[in-house]
Amino acid sequence: MRAALTASPMLLLHPSRGLIDEKFSLIVQNLSRIQDITLHALIHSDDGDYWEAFGHYVSDATGFVNVANDSSLGGTYDGVEPMGLLWSMRPVPGSRIGLRLRKKEVHTPMVVHISVYRGHMSQGFREQVALASVVTERWYMAPGVRRIDITEGGVTGTLFLPPGPGPFPALLDLWGGGGGLVEYRSALLSSHGFVSLALEYMTPRTSGGSTSHVGNEYFEAAFTVLKQHPQVCGDSIAILGLSFGTSVALGMAVYSTVIQPRCLVCVSGSHVQPVKGSLSDVFGEINKNVRNTRYDEENRVIWRDLLLPIPTDPTKKVDVGQLKCPVLMIVGEDDQNWPATESAEDMKEMMEKAGNSHLLTTLSYPGAGHLIEPPYSPHIRASNFMVAGTKQKLVVLWGGETAPHGHAQEDSWKKILSFLEEHLYRSTDVTSQSNL
């Protein structure tokens, strides 16, 4: 008598191609009933490193696992976590120290290989044969988004334009004290219908051979480039700053006569800085407190105390009581790099006294660290950091715990997009959003 044919295990993933902030569904079928399996995700980064995540599951009585509904019993994440295979990624064993997963080539996708293995595994995946595998592409740039190098008006950066003629609302996208040109957040913002200029600053080519002597006029010139672009709605421009970029955003919004943003998004930053001066003056003020630098048990640098205590001297912090536009503050309560919590509290007090606290919205996330990025990006608790203007490389402690940090990234990104739509789109005729 011929034995009954048994279907092979199968992985079903939808959509197989999507934006990096888009959820996917992942189902395993044709397993044995109550079978132990491991789902494993693997990425080969633009830097040439391998990152992985894995979860342990047990199939139901029909040989079925649905990641959206079923709990991971162990691995790099626990519980019901539909996107845990992405946000819990970490370098594979034996990797270089201090890695950070960042997309450098935004015109190519993040390619994720997902496989299912027999049993509950935690290592040795390359030596095992998978029961089934599938590949998904995660993009920062949606189809039709245009990437343009900007080198005009003394400004260096990358402009991302959504599909269509516009005009569109726009953002000036400012990263932190590490310097360099970081494009992936701007690409993703443009995929959601905003023109975004990823601005390079604190590098020799943007500051005449120096790295921190960028004057305020540089940011004003960048804002003007956006404002005058024919596909930008000039009265609907926001500034988004992360870390030190927040300091720039707040200072420009209050004191510049050229920069008049419709709203601000400030992630993991502070208002503490000399009121008058260049970036060099800001760093000089920070360096006065270098004695407050701490190190954890693994000798990773903790810089959050360099701005503490929050000064009472009004010349040492931006007068946020003068802000005239809405501000969204994103705070990780375990930020070990920047005193974001204390800064947000002081800003609230200052704005309450000035009568403009109605403009401030603060989202504070327990267990989240400093590097709050677009959703499903891996949590990076510590990584290598090159101090701007030097060749000194350190391992900096950013803080946060994997699961709460991942949840903070997902929640805050949704609210950032809603905030931008509320304050930028209502003044334009553009209503459609682009996606994959």
In sequence order, what DSSP letters do the residues of 99-163 get, joined into one string? -----S-TTSPEEEEEEEEES--SS-GGGS--SEEEEEEEESS-TT-EEEEEEETTEEEEEEE-S
Summarised one tens digit per residue, pLDDT across range 361-384 is: 999 999 999 999 999 999 999 999
Distances in Å between the Cα of 283 and the Cα atoms of 214, 336, 394 are 12, 18, 17
pLDDT at 206: 47
- The residue written with tokens 């270098």 in the block is 290
Question: SS3 of 342, please?
Answer: helix
Among the listed residues 88, 207, 243, 247, the single catalytic one is 243
Task: Outline which parts of the chain fall under CATH 2.60.40.2240.
Answer: 10-139
Token pair, residue 66, equals: 């649905």
Q: How far apart are the first and last CA of the chain?
A: 51
pLDDT at 3: 44
| Known catalytic residue at 120 | no
Among the listed residues 56, 370, 379, 423, the single catalytic one is 370
Cα angle, residue 241 at apex, residues 304 and 175 outer, rounded to 5°: 80
Rounded Cα distance, 145 and 124, in Å: 40
Q: Note the CATH architecture for domain 10-139.
A: Sandwich (2.60)
pLDDT at 289: 83
- Report the share of the chain in percent with pLDDT over 70: 92
pLDDT at 272: 94
Rounded Cα distance, 239 and 395, in Å: 29
Q: Are strands 36-44 and 50-58 parallel, antiparallel or unpaired?
A: antiparallel
Q: How far is CA 196 from the centre of its chain?
A: 15
- Give the number of other Cβ atoms within 10 Å of residue 382's Cβ: 25
For 125, what's the count of Cα atoms within 13 Å in the CB-facing half-sphere?
28
pLDDT at 79: 98
Question: Are 379 and 406 spatial neighbours (Cβ–Cβ below 8 Å)?
Answer: yes
| Known catalytic residue at 335 | yes
Whether pTM > 0.85 for this model: the answer is yes
Among the listed residues 21, 70, 335, 346, the single catalytic one is 335
pLDDT at 176: 85
Distances in Å between the Cα of 268 and the Cα atoms of 72, 175, 324, 337 are 31, 11, 21, 9
Task: Outline which parts of the chain fall under CATH 3.40.50.1820.
Answer: 146-427
pLDDT at 387: 73
Burial (CB count within 10 angstroms: exposed 0-12, middle 13-18, buried 19+), residue 143: exposed
Q: Which residues of the chain have pLDDT under 50?
A: 1-4, 206, 428-435
Nearest Cα neighbor of 15 from 6, 24, 7 is 24
Q: Note the CATH architecture for domain 146-427.
A: 3-Layer(aba) Sandwich (3.40)
- The residue written with tokens 């715990």 in the block is 401
